Structure 1
Amino acid sequence: MKWLMQLPMQLQRVDEISFFWLSRHLRRPSGGSLARWISKSGDGYGYLIFCLLAFAIGDADAGALLTLLLLGFLIELPVYWLLKNTLRRTRPYERSAKFTSLIKASDKFSFPSGHTTAAFMFASLCATLMPSLSLLVFAWAGLIGLSRIALGVHYPTDILAGAALGTGLASFTLVAANGWLV
């Protein structure tokens, strides 16, 4: 029973060790500039640009994707905000005096990663409507998550939770929108 009580502390320790190793190695060779660019591509305007490009090339699913994304973000944003502000996990750079992040996060708490949640929700919705892009969009979503570790604002479990949450929210969005797009 004692091991069960110590499990959260042991998981936090493994997460911290993984974080320090990953953040150090992911900052190479660009010193973090590549991570900044990848992370910025996961800001909200990136999804809009993608949809506009899909419209511009005449993709028949561009309108459905935009509709699903709007509905998805209406669901995702309050869920993400509630989780972050309920769980209140301290960011890595605030927890360790020996570590300096490359950016200051726009919100206070770490778990789950909002960038990763949004990226995996986008990738899941996009892959559903445009299956030929599945590998590309999921690889990009994974890079978004890794960039957040490289920048020093998220632990690996924040990223894993964001990926799971985003994928789950995409499924929920598809169920909620069932019938609207047909």
Structure 2
Amino acid sequence: MRTIEPIAKFDFAFSQFCLRHRFSLPFARVSQAISHTGDGHLYAVIGLLAWLIDDTLGLMFLLTGLLSFALELPLYWASKNLFKRRRPQELSELLPSFITPSDRYSLPSGHTAAAFLMANLLGHFYPDTQILALSWASLIATARILLGVHFFTDVLIGALLGMSCATSAIAIMGA
């Protein structure tokens, strides 16, 4: 476990930097709104709209998205229960949490995984949206840190998980 000690120290120091300043509460209010866009409902709307607007490419986008999430969700839950990493506020009363997380453990960030999964799919199927989609996913990842429910490495691994699942689904679908 000594090999991950420097990572844990970095995560804690980074969380302190992000959460212990006079602007924490205003940042948390904005972060909560940003984070809410990654709760899941928007992904279904995007997929259905793509299908309604563009029969062929939109249907492939929707089906690839469903496969991506079918890959991502079991890996996400297995990882959470394998690592059982406690959330920032559980490790120190010095670190506030501005929302109640939907589950117990922090690694990986599910919001971040889903956001980067969707950003990858959007960028692949609709290249003009790539910069906007990746920016939006990065804002969700940042919001999760600023809300005090994830460490930096939680969102980093979440982003890698989401991108990997999207890339795998694109390859499987031959899209």
TM-score normalized by the length of structure 1: 0.87
Give SS of 1:97's match: coil
Within 5 Å, give how 1:6-17 maps onto structure 2: 6-17=2-13
The equivalent of 2:120 in structure 1 is 124
The equivalent of 1:98 in structure 2 is 94
* One-letter amino acid matched to 1:95: L
The equivalent of 2:17 in structure 1 is 21
Aligned partner (choices 129, 133, 141) of residue 133 of structure 1: 129
Kept in 2: contact 1:112–1:162 (CA 8 A): yes
Change (3 A) 1:52 1:30: farther
Change (3 A) 1:28 1:100: closer
In structure 2, distance between residues paired with 1:27 and 1:63: 44
Kept in 1: contact 2:20–2:95 (CA 8 A): no
Aligned residues: 175
* One-letter amino acid matched to 1:172: S
* One-letter amino acid matched to 2:158: G
In structure 2, distance between residues paired with 1:121 and 1:74: 11
Kept in 2: contact 1:26–1:150 (CA 8 A): no
Give SS of 2:96's match: coil
TM-score normalized by the length of structure 2: 0.91
Stretches of structure 1 lacking an aligned partner (at least 5 in a row):
none
Give SS of 2:167's match: helix
Aligned residues with identical type, % of pairs: 38
The equivalent of 1:151 in structure 2 is 147
Kept in 2: contact 1:16–1:155 (CA 8 A): yes
Deviations 1:20-66 (A, max 9, x none): 21234696583412111111101111112223443455475322211
